[in-house]
Structure formats: C-alpha cells, structure tokens
Amino acid sequence: MTVIPSSLLQQYGAALNRFAKGEYVFHESWPAHFYFQVEEGSVKLFNAGENNDYIQGLFSHGESFGEPPLIAGFSYPANAKAITNCRIWVLKKTDYLRLLRDNPEVHFEFTKMLAIRLFHKTKLLNAMNTQNPEKRILTIIDYFKDKAPRTTPCYEVPFTRQAIADMTGLRVETVIKKVLRLAEIGELALLDHKIVRH
C-alpha cells in the first residue's frame, strides 16, 4: 500500500535517491531527519547480532520505513540497508510534517498503516514468546501474505529460509526442518523449493 503518492512527495520537495545493493540508508543510533518511501527495490530494517542479523521488517515498492523515530524525535533503533538496487523517495522532516498537516487524508492513511504494523508486531511478539517454532514461522509468513496484493489464492513466500530464520530468531536448520513438517501437515506447500501458503 503506497502511503503517499509520488506526485505529492515531489510537490513537497522529495528527491528520488539511488541506493546500491548492500548500501545503508541509515544506521542504528543516527538521528532521524528524513522520510523514506521505496519506489523500486527492497530494503531491510534490522539489528546486527553476533552471529546473524535480526530482521525487523522488509519494505518494497510504495512502502515507507523509519517513521516512528522521525515523528517522535528519537534516534533510529535499527539499521536500514538496501537488499537490492533501490530508488527511494527522501523527504526532509520539516517538509514531511507540513505534508501531513496539509493533507489530512494522507495523515489518516499513514496513521492506519502504523496501526496495522503495530497490530502485526504484537502478533509476532506473541508468537516469539512461544517455544513453538512452527507458530513463529507461520506468523511471519502470514504477516507478509496479508501485506501482499491479492492476485492468486496462494502466496509464494518471496524470501529465503535464512531470512525467515533472521525474522523469527530461529536457526536456519530449524526453519528448514519445520517448513518440511508444515508442508507434511498441509499448512504450507513446497513447489520447486519455493514455500507457498494457501
């Protein structure tokens, strides 16, 4: 769901910046001065760990990221990195806040989007508190399934088993075993090594 049309972003002075695959958009603890919205490519929001990253979110076309620190005035609690070559709209904080004040319908859609993210984050935290790895895996897959446009009745999971491990706090070996188990009981399907959720 595109929060702000690109024409409106341009009207308020946004620039369309390019980020190469692997390039950081911002680092954890940097002050928040800009609004970011993906035009093309994918970005991950993550915290770096000793052995692997913990992915907080994945964002693609039309999705924005990093807004809570921008609005509340605190530093970024995570890193943002391009996972493909990206083009990202970048708008100064003062211009972004003016855009929201001038366009109450955009402000409402933005508030609704944040509420949906908070709802899903709460569901994910509840799943993380359980020792059931299958529930963790299905919760994260269902989160992205709910975000995806409805073009077919089945949802093809667009990321690797390693990415699922990074989002659920599980080891990749555990994810591989549990995905096979979930396929055996019909919760998932495996087609040419791709994970599919009905």
Q: Higher-confidence residue: 56 or 3?
A: 56
20 phi, psi to nearest 5 deg: -75, 155
Residue 94 shares a structural domain with residue 171 = no
In this structure, is residue 31 part of a structural domain? yes
Among the listed ranges 88-92, 144-148, 163-167, 194-198, which one has the minimum average pLDDT value? 144-148
163 versus 25: which is more confidently predicted?
Answer: 25
Q: pTM for the full model?
A: 0.81
* Sole residue written with tokens 């609690």: 77
Do 142 and 86 fall within a single domain? no
The Cα–Cα gap between 192 and 134 comes to 21
User: Which of 15-19, 91-95, 110-114, 174-178 bottoms out in mean pLDDT, i.e. has the lowest?
Assistant: 110-114
State residue 183's pLDDT score: 95
108 and 141 together in one domain: no
Residue 185 has what pLDDT?
95
Task: Report how many domains make up the chain.
Answer: 2
Q: Is residue 146 in a domain? A: yes
Q: For residues 25 and 39, what is the distance between their CA atoms, to the nearest angstrom?
A: 14
How far apart are alpha carbons 195 and 160 in whole angstroms? Answer: 9
Q: Please state, in angstroms and rounded to a whole number, the distance separating the CA atoms of residues 38 and 86.
A: 7
Check whether residue 68 and residue 106 sit in a common domain.
yes
Task: Write out the residue range of the structural domain in which residue 57 sits.
Answer: 6-116
pLDDT of residue 82 exceeding 90, the answer is: yes
Hey, is 28 helix, strand or coil?
coil
